[in-house]
Homo-oligomer: A and B are copies of this chain.
Amino acid sequence: MAGVVEKRLADLGIVLPTPVAPVANYVPFVRTGNFMVVSGQLCLDAEGQLVAKGQLGAGVSIEDGQKAARACAINILAQIKNALGDLDKIARVVRLGGFINSAPGFPDGPKVMNGASDLVVAAFGDKGRHARSTVGVAALPMDAAVEVEGSFEVS
């Protein structure tokens, strides 16, 4: 039976994709005690295509950036599901780190990153309220528009 978090995702029409395999010599998550780190996830959809490619402030709209950030968050959830078997085992979303592929000076990273934060809070409720850092980077793997990493407390 699906847990509380997965039911919320289903209500949002979200089906977790097969977790994306790392593109290199690392692993998608590491757990140390009750603390779990999830590797940076790109804005890939369920077919492995980039939801948005290129830079915010230079071709990618804020709205498309938000969709990209949301896709990153969904990929993080897919990695957690794969790691723990049940998303309800997350006691707290500790931190999300948002990397926004940005033209110099692009000021609206937080608006873009809300695409990830809103999804996580919708999925986990109060347990989803997280610390966050958002920065605009010069480049991302595959020229993805957004990459998000996360850390979590596991119950």
**Which residues of A line the B interface, CB within 8 A?**
22-30, 32-35, 37-40, 54-55, 57, 91-97, 99-111, 113-114, 117-118, 121, 129-143, 147, 149, 151, 153
Q: Does B135 lie within 8 Å of A137, measured CB to CB?
A: yes
Oligomeric state, in number of copies? 3
A110-B141, A136-B137 provided; 6 other pairs, C-beta below 8 A? Answer: A27-B129, A30-B94, A30-B130, A32-B35, A40-B134, A136-B138
Q: Smallest distance from the beta carbon of A82 to chain B beta carbons, Å?
A: 13
Whether A33 contacts B34 in the complex (CB less than 8 A), given A55-B104, A105-B143, comes out as yes
Q: Does A25 lie within 8 Å of B131, measured CB to CB?
A: no
Q: Does B140 lie within 8 Å of A136, measured CB to CB?
A: yes
* Distance A54 CA – B84 CA, assembled complex (angstroms): 41
